[in-house]
Structure formats: C-alpha cells, structure tokens
Structure 1
C-alpha cells in the first residue's frame, strides 16, 4: 500500500522543523509497523524565507535508509503563493500517481501523540464507504499548564463551535482516498479549502445528494495548532472565515447554474479548471457582481446567530454558563462581518 503525505507550506521557516520532527515520530514511519510505502512531498509556495531549505535539511538529517527504509521524500518549490494552487499541483502532479491514500497537512501543526496518522489510515482501510478521515484539532492553549485569562477564553470559545453533529473537514490535516482527491480541482482564487473540499467530497463532486458520513473522525487522533489569542489576530481570522464562507457560497451557486445549462457529462472540476484558464479572476468577478446586486452588503445566512444555535447541543448548565461568552463572540462576528465586507469591496 502506498501513502503520500503532502505538506503545504508558506513562510514557515521558524516553525516547520518542529512540525516535521513531530511527523516523523508517528508510528506509521516505524519499519515493520505495517506494509507501507511512504512518500513525503513538501510544497513550499510563494515563500519569502528559507522554508524549503529548512525542510531539506530536516529531512536529510533524519530520514536515512537504515531507520526509514520505506520512506522517500522530495521538496517541490512553487513560485506562486496560495494553498489552492499548491493543493492542485500536489494532488495532480507531484504526488505518486500510484498512491492509494493521501494525507494533506499544514506546515505549522504538531502531534502530541504518535498514533494519529495510523488511526486516520485505519478508518479508511476498515470502511470503504468513508472517503476522508479527519482528526481532532486542539488549540495549543488548551495544553498549557498555566493559562492566563486570554488562554481560558480561547479554550471556552472552542466550546461554541458545536459538537455531536456531523464531522467537519479541517483543512489543517486530513487523509483521503487518492482516487477521490484526483477527481477534484480547486479554483485558484479560493479563500478556504476545507469548506470547498467538504462540499465536493460529501456530494461526490455535486453528482449526489449530500452524504455527510463520507467523512469520519478517527478515534484517539489529534493535532495541535497555534491559537489566535490577540484580539487583532482573532478579528483577522474571523474576517477571513466570513470571506471564505461568502466566496464558497458564490462559487457553488455559479457552478449549479452552469451545470444546469451543460451536458450531463461535464464535471464540476473540469469547469473550475476551464474557468481558471479562461479568466483567473472569475471568482473576483462573481463577488463584484453579487455586491452590486446586494447593494454592497454580503452576509452568510445565520452567521450572527451561529454561536447561539450551537448552544442547543450543550447541557443546560453549560448553556447558561456559555451564554455571555456567546454574546461576546457574536459581537466579534459582527465586527468581522463588517471587516469582511470592506475587504470584499476592494476585490
């Protein structure tokens, strides 16, 4: 069985060594753990630092034929920045075409436990119906021994993201059947890959009704990422989420309209690729047209009440305790919504 791991990196020279060292401690890299052929493909894109060189030095210093006889690696630098572009290059050109499974991971996460990748791989091996396996993303502040007030608030806000429902796809780390990812092409101006990929996977590239159980969370699998604790960072991130939500909505609305007017054998990914080639700014044109139509204001449905909707899944006591925080989070969402609309007005 062949497994390819794509690491998409942009200006991560100061943090990526920890990521790579953590990755290579995963049990799937232990000889004899299982019959695996593993390749690691680093894809630094548009970097203005020495991310690529740090990746090369780290792999060359750790991966040797004696300790890692089943592992190969390569670094493929791209001049153009952007995660969608790096994703397309990795999936369609750089990854081993014989790979059965592909891991996609960001270059700024790390693993506190060695079983995460193995657990994710087991999910796909044991159930052919599942197409993508994810883990549990954990904020670094949750693991801190001595938390300050901001750290505690950041941890509590995580509780407002909902739980117990369908599994979401986090773009920081996931494992997928390679045959599924090869059917997908990402628009170059896509803001966030996870929401887009979730829609494409759960609808089989818009050819079936949504099937949320195509994505499953692996047991005892988690990764750690750096939390945004400064108010300016938090607002910037929330603004980015709003822009991503709006952009994905417009892309899929445009796609549905186009598919209705075309022969049934045309695929969503072939259209995305064609539109990118014809006009790389087609997504920006969609946004501009929608802003004109909506008198300059774009808002995702239910965005301002999403924190309160998620409270319904909590026990009564926790719901009461979290209500004030949900109100504060809603105010932040309102600020982010205004900031996102200002940003979209410049597109």
Structure 2
C-alpha cells in the first residue's frame, strides 16, 4: 500500500526555498508511531522556513498495525499538515534496503536535505526539526547535522529498576555525538546522500554512513567538520534496561563494525583502482546476496577470526582519547571491557553461523 499526498506551502514567495524530505523508518512500531506523528504535527517547521516538506512513513516488513495506526494519526492532523505525509507499506524489511529506496526512489529528487528518523523516538521540543534544518543549511561545508540522543530514563525519570539505572548511567559517556551519526535522527544534504547506497543486510548503517560522509566516499582523508550537532537540539529514546538486551545490542554493534571494516577495505581497493565508489555501491546494493557472499569469501581471518582486535579494544582507545576521564568513566570502562568481551565472543559465534548480515 502506498498513500501519496501533495505537499503544501504557507511561506512568502520571496523567502529562500529549502526543500526537505524526511523518512521515518518503522518496523512493528504500532505502539509509538502514532505519538511521533502527533508530535510532528506540532513542529514549527511546518509553514515556517520550508517551501516543500514531505514526511514519509517507511513501514518495512511490519507484521503489526503500524500502517493502520500511522494512517489514523495522519488523518487527525490539521489539513495543511497531513497533506505533507505519505505512508509506504513495504513487504520486505531491513533498514539498509529501505534507506536505499528512500534516497534513490521515494524521496523528492528536488529536495535539498533528507531527514532520517526512527519511529520510536520522541521530540519534546517543538522547534527541533526547524533548528536542525537551519543549522545544516547555514553551514556550507557541513554535510550532516545530528540530533543529540537522550535516554528516556534521564529525561523523564522513568522507573527501570536498579539494573536499568546502572545500564542507563553507563552508556554513551565516551561517544561524541557531534562527530558521529545517530541513526535515530539526523539530516543530510541531498548532494551527499545521492552518492551513497547501502549493501543489503548491513547491521550498522550509522557507521557506514559516517565513513562515507567524512571521507567523501574514500576520496579524501577524514574531515570531521562535515558532521556536527548542538547540545540544545535533542530527541529522547527508550533506554535498554536488561543485561540480555544490552548484550544483544552490543553484539550487533560489534558485528556491524566488523562487517563495515571488511567492506571499507574493499572500497579502498575500488578507490585505488580508479573505479567510482558511488557506482560500485549502487551495483552491489541491487544484489541481495552480495554481502553474505562477500563475507563468506573474506572471513574468518587469522588470527582474530571474525572480529578484528582493534574493534574489541575500541572502548579503551576512546577512553584514552576522551577529555571526560574521571573515576566514574574509569569504572564504566572496566564494566564495559567485560561487556565487550562477552559481546565479542557472541559476535564471533553469530558470524560463524553466517547470521551477521541481515540478521538484525
């Protein structure tokens, strides 16, 4: 099912035109998608600085009522706003597959900026999207602007029990969201996004996208000035509250980082050969079996197996480079090393079973 609607404009014809197309990635999000759409209807970006704004609900492989709930929530929006929304219902799931469709098939080719948003986040401030768009538009060298991720435990003091509190207090302390890409909510300039296609089944799209952006598809050394964020611009997401869920999450990150590392080696080889990486990515993104076949050819490797040592030791390197070192972050580091050890063993097992690509 695809419901298509025409966007409207309430801006002065003499104001600068910015066209924005937002994709909301939803997999079995019937419990959250309605609330997100309702909050989007309160965003100041509508009728403000955007000539043409489109919001696409990308329901991919859903087996619940995500599409029905989203359609009902859109119908309840003011007329001028709901006309900006489109609902897409795709039989096949997978964020990488859906991201390719959003960038290259569904989004308005005249859009200046594309927005990537998860369906299970909350936007407490009604000017979040407008401020993100303004910041990205005003930075000529900037390619991506991130929203700062805030855990619901910290924002709303949700009761999660002692284990949940320990987990919530320990995460994210060494990560600079301004120089990463938070897949939950970020904006990217169309000129950059158009170059990128994702291998189908990629477990961690954020890290892949980041590498493409900061190196301009491996055509230059890393340039972190192409990414940014603002502490005052944020979204809220649901915190992990159980050890089992935490290990699963960390395993996915390690698997994804390991797979990305192998792919990046191949992309460097392609770049050295003089081929266009953009064309190469487009070609492999159209082959559903490419990633699994490529991993089978490349892994395992001696002496580490499936997960390179540098990925398992990433937390230690981040701690040594961080300016936020303290007794708290040191104890978080010790706990994190134990988590990484368990998750690395688990990641090797998952990849040994051939379930790294597409499993998540």
Q: Is 1:285 equivalent to 2:293 in the alignment?
A: yes
Q: Is 1:85 equivalent to 2:114 in the alignment?
A: no
Q: Is 1:344 equivalent to 2:359 in the alignment?
A: no
Compute the TM-score of the two structures, normalised by the length of structure 2.
Answer: 0.87
1:219 is displaced (CA, Å) by 4.8
Q: Is 1:333 equivalent to 2:345 in the alignment?
A: no
Match of 1:149 in 2: 162
Cα gap change, 1:3/1:35 in structure 2, threshold over 3 Å: closer, same or farther? closer
8 Å CA contact 2:168, 2:241 repeated in 1: no
After superposition, the C-alpha distances for 1:267-296 in whole angstroms (9 at most, x for unaligned) are 21311232344x532222332233343367
Match of 2:8 in 1: none
Name structure 1 gaps, 5 residues minimum.
Answer: none
Pairwise CA RMSD: 2.1
Name structure 2 gaps, 5 residues minimum.
Answer: 1-17, 355-360
Match of 1:17 in 2: 34
d(CA) in 1 for partners of 2:34, 2:50: 27
SS in 2 for 1:302: helix
Match of 2:3 in 1: none
Q: Which runs of 4+ in 1 moved over 6 A?
A: none
Compute the TM-score of the two structures, normalised by the length of structure 1.
Answer: 0.90
Cα gap change, 1:283/1:294 in structure 2, threshold over 3 Å: closer, same or farther? farther
1:252 is displaced (CA, Å) by 1.1
Match of 2:53 in 1: 38
Match of 1:274 in 2: 283
Give the count of matched residue pairs: 335
Match of 2:11 in 1: none
SS in 2 for 1:161: coil
SS in 1 for 2:279: helix
Q: Is 1:61 equivalent to 2:69 in the alignment?
A: no
d(CA) in 1 for partners of 2:65, 2:116: 21
8 Å CA contact 2:196, 2:282 repeated in 1: no
After superposition, the C-alpha distances for 1:87-131 in whole angstroms (9 at most, x for unaligned) are 111111111111111111011111111121111111122111101
SS in 2 for 1:96: coil
Cα gap change, 1:280/1:329 in structure 2, threshold over 3 Å: closer, same or farther? same
SS in 2 for 1:160: coil
Alignment of 1:1-347 (within 5 A): 1-29=18-46, 31=47, 33-65=48-80, 68=81, 72-145=84-157, 147=159, 148-163=161-176, 167-261=179-273, 264=274, 266-277=275-286, 279-294=287-302, 297-312=305-320, 313-314=322-323, 319-347=326-354
1:314 is displaced (CA, Å) by 4.5
d(CA) in 1 for partners of 2:330, 2:50: 50
